[in-house]
Structure 1
């Protein structure tokens, strides 16, 4: 009889395949760590019909969806439904774990506006939700909380009225419990500034606003002050453009036919160089070594 410890170990190995560390390592010239993780679950995947590395990723994802809906399952479902479903990867981009105030947005999507998806799996509490929503609401236009369908009723008691609520079904689709309301009146330019890299913020305010003497500290303060002085609508619009462009760097890999759909969120969580991305895509289509199927 299989013990609970054995099952837990198997799930741990499966979850390790669908991680940013494995994804990045698979794009390197010597992906020993990634290959070790893939090899651990390859026999079970091969028994289920897997033939390529991409098939192993898909098999791992199917196992998690069925037996252990961790945060990655939710993230990939959001990316697939929003970036590849509602929009297109050529018009919308995603950034995972984006620093937003003192919080990290699980999935942030940028197209003509900004939307954050805060995930609460069945293993998460709502203890930090108030502070997370406060961080998001002054920096992005729309905020959604994503839960499992079994937890939707309980979540409604914790989610503020202006925040949307989505429930993930077992089949991977979403039910919208309620839509989000715009945060346009809550946005603050000084808060939005903290989401951007220096070069991004400089593009938004323009060179003329940064004509100042002094060292790096003085120039940084001038940039921060100039951005904070912007109308919140302009600051938000500029940030959306900058962050959409940043997220688009992953689109070449994320939207490629050789990348399995199960790895879409990984592509947006681990932006790769052109060379590394090409190497990873090629490896995805390589056959599983015969010895792995034994």
Structure 2
């Protein structure tokens, strides 16, 4: 459906940046024309809210789910001062949809009504190699099948209801038996695993450049697995800490755009430019 394709394309970091900073309104204007109808005299914020409302009723895509998680869990239950989020994190050949770190790491694997469930069990098993708490967030149309596939009780199941609320069907429980040093280690960038080794071991391996990575991994494997996991979570949380610098202007971002802005690395001037764009009338240069 053309309208669905347009909202998929519009609600991305790249599209928002083009719209706000490059004044490239092609996708935005087309979406308004196809979905919004006549919006003469209304603001760009009005148009975005109208398009988002269409998405909430007709096409709840992955962005809609991620935005719900950010708004209702990270911002609704926790605080940007104490909690961080990461998205699309590579984990042992899979891409983890959403991770919230608040003392522990809570994985959220998203299965929208538009997705199939063929790889679900394998994906969750992989995430348990690095994280102790996993949840699947899904739609009513998938709920019974998700419950059947995830017949092990430690996996949390969350339903995005028709009213767009998050309903916990089953709470996640701690499960550490699947943790693997190598999977944890591979989540880290070089400066991150070097900090972990210096902090936990007091030194880095003295070896040739060609053997350095494997030597660092071997040293990391000497750590207790829960100590290793805690050190990795600390680094991942720090990776997302840039988002906390501008909590005050971020609080003024419309709910519909929170997830996009959170992961865009905005600076003070960027927030001001976004605000200027949102108050302009549709079609205003």
User: TM (normalized to structure 2)?
Assistant: 0.88
Alignment partners' CA distance in 2, 1:41 and 1:288: 16
Return the offset for 1:156: 0.5
Q: Deviations over 1:24-58 (max 9, x none)?
A: 33454x242xx222222345548579843333332
Q: Deviations over 1:50-88 (max 9, x none)?
A: 843333332222111111111111111111111011111
| Alignment match, 1:39 | 29
Structure 1 residues 236 and 209, CA, compared in 2 at 3 Å: closer, same or farther? Answer: same
| Alignment match, 1:226 | 219
Matching residue within 4, 23, 26 for 1:11 = 4
| Alignment match, 1:59 | 50
| Alignment match, 1:4 | none
Contact kept? 2:99, 2:108, Cα under 8 Å = yes
Q: Deviations over 1:154-193 (max 9, x none)?
A: 2200114121111101222111111112123332222111
Return the offset for 1:22: 0.8
Alignment partners' CA distance in 2, 1:141 and 1:112: 12
| Alignment match, 1:3 | none
Contact kept? 1:27, 1:276, Cα under 8 Å = no
Structure 1 residues 57 and 201, CA, compared in 2 at 3 Å: closer, same or farther? Answer: farther
Return the offset for 1:291: 5.9
| Alignment match, 1:133 | 124
Alignment partners' CA distance in 2, 1:31 and 1:15: 19
Note if 1:71 corresponds to 2:54. no
| Alignment match, 2:251 | 257
Task: Work out which structure has the larger RCO, using CA pairs closer than 8 Å and 6 or more positions apart in sequence.
Answer: 1
Note if 1:175 corresponds to 2:162. no
User: TM (normalized to structure 1)?
Assistant: 0.85
Alignment partners' CA distance in 2, 1:59 and 1:252: 30
Alignment partners' CA distance in 1, 2:10 and 2:166: 25
Superposed counterparts of 1:78-97, under 5 Å: 78-97=69-88
4+ residue runs of structure 1 moved beyond 6 angstroms? none
Segments of 5+ residues of structure 2 without an aligned counterpart are none
Return the offset for 1:274: 2.2
Alignment partners' CA distance in 2, 1:137 and 1:50: 51
Instruction: Tell me how large the CA RMSD over aligned residues is.
Output: 2.5
Structure 1 residues 15 and 193, CA, compared in 2 at 3 Å: closer, same or farther? Answer: same
Segments of 5+ residues of structure 1 without an aligned counterpart are 1-7
- State the SS of the aligned residue for 1:86: coil
